């Protein structure tokens, strides 16, 4: 018997286990005309963060003699054509590190001297060698085809039905002719990183379904039907909850305490296993409607939110308007003080409001996925994770995207990104679930990719059976449950944590004050009416007290006269 047990454990040890590259230290050296880190480089960092906790992003002009002293894996990203500084070239050439080159300028590096690259426009068809899959992406791309003997081809472009190498490997070195990582073709680069880092992936794809834009105007009947259907099918749903609804017609704030039936539905869904995440405090800015407007980005001026919605914001000056970096940094620190106060207030009020409703928010989703880079830093102080997509650009909200797998981009300051990868059910399309299936099929070329999507409860249950069936038909599919992760959402006074599936709430606020706050008005009109009522009450009380005083004095005079 003992021999059988011994051989059983030996057999277990022989089973291949997924090897992680978390001990790796990555340096990303990039060449760019921009003074700021380009969005494409942030995207590369996000992809690499799946494989390493230590990532240094260095512009080619800022490489110093010891920049690569701790590096185990090196990336060179030529965002724009330019000469690589001599000292940087020498450091890269002398490093003998596994090198992954992307885009322009790689012919200046020794390991890629023999590579011939040709820039080709209008490419929409690709082939992945590992899965032997042909892909056609919706938007055409500009890439480099590669001519190199004795190389392993990981991906090819397809032009006139001919496959031509595009991502290749020579020894421990890789080169990708896909250089616009903001495009869909970057999925091919994402998958090749498993081979570059020599990581064995798990044979599974996690998936989640998020019920979107739940707010005090949500129909409780439809939400209950949708939520119950999914929970009955053992889908651990996420509820993206907006704390307050702002009526665009009169500016009045509507709270869940004004919609008790809806609140009961949300509480019951959470009790059944749904997980709440914060989707902003009002999900709007200025006069826009909750769920439609932006909250953490001034979309009219395409800049961070610098002032409350009732004030006129200053227009941000560009760095070129300043004579030196020091003046520009001082200016930015001053002007972003308003954003810091605004975002902290909104995030804190959102968490407090949800907790006061006996809900347990465990994550964050930025409204419309938009937020400045400084905003992400502020969010990371209160949330351990974020759902959806990332705004890669700090100056243009439309430059956004996500990673195909769970990652921890440097941009998010420690937050885990749970990506939205297959979109949502669009009722304006004739076959909305088929559109999501197409996106899912594209995700399948990336190992361990997450199948993440969302659904609006106001649609009802019409498309849910087909959607759930499609997601569960994914090879190696497993539903992702946020409660099973170690997550934390916190403010100074409140924290919600989960460890090994156990939710823990800490609330140090005064319960009396907490309950009073739930019923205090928040809109300008309501506050004005309350102030008027208080002034009236004080006036009436003053009048009564004065009347009583006069009667008391009159009685005293009568007693004196009789005496």
Confidence of residue 319 (pLDDT cuts 50, 70, 90): confident
- Using left for φ > 0, alpha for ψ between -120 and 50, and beta otherwise, residue 236 falls in beta
Is the pLDDT at 506 greater than 70? The verdict is yes
Helices 464-472 and 220-232: crossing angle in degrees, nearest 10, is 30
Is the pLDDT at 19 greater than 60? The verdict is no
Listed by start position, the domains of the chain span: 25-196, 205-513, 529-562
**pLDDT confidence of residue 537:** 83
Q: Are 138 and 127 in contact (CB under 8 A)?
A: no
**pLDDT confidence of residue 95:** 93
The SS3 of residue 321 is helix
Cα separation, 122 vs 142, whole angstroms: 6
What pLDDT digit, counting tens, does each position of 543-557 carry? 888 888 777 777 666
The SS3 of residue 345 is helix
The SS3 of residue 473 is coil
Return phi, psi of residue 334, to 5°: -70, -45
pTM above 0.95, yes or no: no
What pLDDT digit, counting tens, does each position of 354-401 carry? 999 999 999 999 999 999 999 999 999 999 999 999 999 999 999 999
Instruction: Find tokens 């991906």 and name the residue.
Output: 155
Confidence of residue 417 (pLDDT cuts 50, 70, 90): very high
Return phi, psi of residue 330, to 5°: -65, -40
**pLDDT confidence of residue 516:** 55
Q: What CATH number belongs to 25-196?
A: 3.40.50.880
What pLDDT digit, counting tens, does each position of 341-358 carry? 999 999 999 999 999 999
Neighbouring CB atoms inside 10 A of 162's CB total 8
What is each CA distance from 63 to 2, 68, 69, in whole angstroms? 59, 9, 11
Cα separation, 67 vs 90, whole angstroms: 12
**pLDDT confidence of residue 527:** 63
- Using left for φ > 0, alpha for ψ between -120 and 50, and beta otherwise, residue 224 falls in alpha
CA atoms 421, 426, 428, 432: torsion sign? positive
**pLDDT confidence of residue 7:** 42
What pLDDT digit, counting tens, does each position of 437-478 carry? 999 999 999 999 999 999 999 999 999 999 999 999 999 999
CA atoms 440, 443, 445, 447: torsion sign? negative
CA angle 114, 117, 120 (to 5 degrees): 170
Cα separation, 347 vs 382, whole angstroms: 8
Q: Are 242 and 214 in contact (CB under 8 A)?
A: yes
Among the listed residues 360, 361, 316, the one whose alpha carbon sits nearest the alpha carbon of residue 335: 316
DSSP conformational letter for 299: T
What pLDDT digit, counting tens, does each position of 171-221 carry? 999 999 999 999 999 999 999 999 999 999 999 999 999 999 999 999 999
Helices 220-232 and 260-271: crossing angle in degrees, nearest 10, is 10
What pLDDT digit, counting tens, does each position of 88-145 carry? 999 999 999 999 999 999 999 999 998 999 999 999 999 999 999 999 999 999 999 9
**pLDDT confidence of residue 416:** 98
| Fold annotation for 205-513 | TIM Barrel (3.20.20)
**pLDDT confidence of residue 55:** 98
Q: Are 265 and 258 in contact (CB under 8 A)?
A: no
Average pLDDT over residues 262-273: 98
The separation between CA 386 and the C-alpha centre of its own chain, rounded to angstroms, equals 4
The length of the chain in residues reads 563
């Amino acid at each position: 018997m003992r021999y059988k047990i011994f051989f059983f454990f030996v057999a277990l040890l022989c089973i291949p286990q997924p090897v992680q590259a978390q001990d790796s230290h990555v340096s990303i050296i990039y060449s760019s005309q921009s003074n700021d880190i380009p969005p494409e480089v942030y995207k590369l960092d996000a992809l690499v963060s799946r494989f390493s906790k230590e990532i240094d992003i260095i512009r080619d002009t800022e490489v110093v003699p010891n920049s690569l002293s701790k590096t185990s894996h090196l990336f060179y990203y030529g965002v724009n054509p330019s000469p690589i500084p001599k000292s940087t070239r020498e450091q890269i050439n002398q490093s003998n590190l596994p090198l992954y080159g992307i885009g322009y300028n790689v012919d200046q590096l020794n390991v890629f001297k023999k590579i011939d690259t040709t820039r080709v426009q209008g490419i929409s068809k690709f082939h992945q060698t590992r899965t032997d899959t042909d892909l056609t992406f919706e938007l055409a791309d500009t890439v480099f085809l590669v001519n190199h003997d004795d190389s392993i081809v990981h991906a090819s472009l397809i032009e006139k039905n001919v496959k031509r190498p595009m991502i290749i490997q020579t020894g421990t070195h890789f080169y990708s002719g896909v250089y616009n990582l903001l495009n869909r073709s970057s999925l091919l680069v994402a998958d090749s990183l498993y081979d570059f880092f020599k990581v064995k992936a798990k044979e599974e794809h996690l998936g989640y379904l998020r019920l979107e834009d739940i707010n005090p105007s949500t129909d409780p009947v439809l939400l209950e039907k949708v939520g119950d259907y999914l929970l009955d099918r053992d889908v651990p749903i996420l509820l993206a909850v907006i704390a307050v609804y702002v009526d665009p017609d009169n500016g009045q704030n509507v709270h869940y305490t004004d919609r008790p039936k809806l609140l009961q539905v949300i509480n019951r869904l959470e009790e059944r296993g749904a997980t709440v995440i914060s989707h902003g405090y009002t999900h709007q800015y200025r006069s826009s409607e909750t769920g439609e407007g932006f909250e953490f980005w001034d979309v009219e001026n395409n800049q961070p939110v610098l002032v409350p919605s009732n004030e006129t914001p200053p227009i941000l000056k560009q760095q070129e308007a300043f004579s030196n970096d020091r003046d520009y940094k001082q200016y930015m620190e001053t002007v972003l003080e308003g954003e810091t106060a605004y975002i902290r207030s909104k995030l804190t009020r959102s968490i407090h409001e949800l907790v006061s409703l006996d809900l347990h928010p465990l994550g964050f989703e930025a409204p419309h996925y938009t937020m400045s880079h400084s905003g992400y830093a502020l969010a990371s102080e209160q949330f351990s994770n974020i759902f959806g997509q990332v705004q890669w650009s700090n100056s243009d909200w439309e430059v956004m995207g996500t990673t195909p797998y769970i990652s921890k981009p440097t941009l998010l300051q420690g937050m885990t990104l749970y990506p939205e990868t297959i979109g949502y059910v669009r009722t304006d399309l004739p076959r909305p679930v088929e559109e999501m299936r197409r996106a899912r099929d594209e995700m399948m070329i990336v190992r361990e990719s997450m199948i993440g999507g969302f659904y609006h409860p106001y649609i009802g249950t019409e498309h849910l059976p087909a959607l759930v069936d499609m997601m569960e038909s994914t090879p190696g599919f497993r539903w992702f449950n946020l409660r099973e992760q170690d997550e934390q959402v916190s403010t100074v006074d409140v924290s919600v944590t989960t460890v090994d599936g156990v939710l823990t709430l800490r609330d140090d606020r005064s319960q009396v004050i907490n309950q009073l706050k739930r019923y205090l008005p928040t809109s300008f009109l309501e506050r004005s009416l309350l102030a008027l009522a208080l002034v009236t009450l004080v006036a009436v009380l003053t009048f009564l007290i004065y009347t009583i005083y006069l009667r008391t004095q009159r009685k005293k005079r009568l007693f004196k006269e009789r005496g």
